[in-house]
Amino acid sequence: MSSSESFYDAQETRGTDEREAALMAALPAQIAHAQARAPAFAGLLQGVEAARIASRATLATLPVTRKSELLARQQASRAAGGDAFGGFSAIGWGAARRVFQSPGTIYEPEGARGDYWRVARALHAAGMRAGELLHNSFSYHLTPAGSMMETGAHALGCTVFPGGVGNTELQLQAMAELRPQGYVGTPSFLKILLDKAQESGQRLSIAKALVSGEAFPPSLRDWLIERGVQAYQCYATADIGLIAYETLAREGLVLDEGVILEIVRPGTGDPVPEGEVGEVVVTTLNPDYPLIRFGTGDLSAVLPGACPTGRSNTRIKGWMGRADQSAKVRGMFVHASQVAELLRRFPGPLGRARLVVEGEMAQDRMTLKVELSGAAPEGLADQLSTALRDITKLRGEVQLLPPGSLPNDGRVIEDARKYD
């Protein structure tokens, strides 16, 4: 599994210390570049001495910019007749080859560099090779997914059929006549294609696939294998591009070489211990769209050890849900950030916390469950209850628990109410 032919380039097998040194050496320049060329970061990072941000500890002192803030800044800028990207892009019209739209509405630039979204690495790990034809069933309309895969495939030396979404019968006809070796698209559409082909007695030539854009459960993976298709998944976003990808080992997702990843406690910018579930925060080394500590809103966790294939970069578990949690209680919204604010007021023995909302309609009950790493100071539960009411404007009970009592799933707000 660790032969040189298995790797896209030498970066994938470099020593972990070598990789970390290279990333940290590149970080100050990227921050300085963002401050100088992206007006939004000139404001967000005002007063930050870029040269000092050369470690994960100092990186963690910078603010997290979440998708909701990026959206709000873009909307405000456009409403004022300003920059469509809200000051987050370091390039404008002309330098940007394409611009894409994500729900919200958020706009993302695509620069002119080859393999702009860095997807070739994931395609290679999924078995795609130069000289092959790939059938691309990701959307080419509005969103960047189709272009992400196509530019990665071109960098790998592959030819692409731009199938896009829908038109199942026409896509099956193209597959029958062109006989592509690989597929890229959502796993659910690949299943539709295989089902339709079987109904018509057609045998598809596809033997490998890179899928993304939705959940890829083991049951569907095994279903595809039974039909002769080895499919692997990758984790990418319209803002960042490739973040992590699956390998032949099928043991988590290996991080891309062009990103710095942190897992933070939802609602905060505080990194969690290795293995604990939290929000995926990414700093990209992309000079065109230099996102610094960008909160994806996705939950994941770091896996221990290295990939059995010989790739030495960090592995994550993959997508594990959403971090931007909230619940409406007695007519008012409570957010994960409010729980984080409460914990900040009580440094010391407090560990993980979860706000549980229970009861039936119009009879909501809130309970703040908090793990303690040591003995509880006298009156702590009452102090926490008072702070909870002060921050959320709602009353709630407090339960103090020993370490490890709460599930390691990244959930900060649990809505356990009955709506029947």
pLDDT tens, 220-253? 999 999 999 999 999 999 999 999 999 999 999 9
Secondary structure class of 294 (helix, strand, coil): strand
Mean pLDDT in residue range 357-382: 81
Domain membership flag for residue 229: no
Residue 360: CB atoms within 10 A of its CB come to 11
The pLDDT assigned to 1 comes to: 44
Domain membership flag for residue 296: no
Domain membership flag for residue 262: no
Does residue 350 have a pLDDT over 70? Answer: yes
Residues 6+ apart with CB under 8 A from 314: 254, 255, 261, 302, 303
CATH of the domain at 337: 3.30.300.30
Q: What is the CA radius of gyration of the chain?
A: 23
Structural domains of the chain, count? 1
| Residues 302, 16: Cα–Cα separation, whole Å | 15
Contact 294, 286 (CB under 8 A): no
Peptide bond into 237 cis (omega under 30): no
Count CA within 13 A, CB hemisphere, residue 335.
7
Show the domain range for 341.
326-415
Structure tokens at 403: 């370490």
Strand partners, 94: none
pLDDT tier, 4 (very low <50, low <70, confident <90, very high otherwise): very low
Structure tokens at 31: 């921050």
Mean pLDDT, the chain, integer: 92
Mean pLDDT in residue range 58-65: 97
Digit-coded pLDDT (tens) for 324-337:
777 778 767 788 88
Strand partners, 109: 99
| Residues 339, 392: Cα–Cα separation, whole Å | 9
Mean pLDDT in residue range 34-41: 97
Digit-coded pLDDT (tens) for 123-145:
999 999 999 999 999 999 999 99
The pLDDT assigned to 341 comes to: 85
Domain membership flag for residue 335: yes
Domain membership flag for residue 397: yes
Domain membership flag for residue 232: no
Q: What is the DSSP string of 231-243?
A: EEEEEEETTTEEE
Structure tokens at 280: 């995926």
Domain membership flag for residue 408: yes
Mean pLDDT in residue range 61-76: 94
Residues 6+ apart with CB under 8 A from 411: 321, 325, 354
Q: What is the residue type of 265?
A: R
Q: What is the pTM of this model?
A: 0.84
The pLDDT assigned to 54 comes to: 97
Burial of residue 217, with CB atoms counted within 10 A of its CB: 0-12 exposed, 13-18 middle, 19 or more buried: exposed
Domain membership flag for residue 50: no
The pLDDT assigned to 115 comes to: 97
Strands 253-255 and 315-316, bridge-based pairing: antiparallel
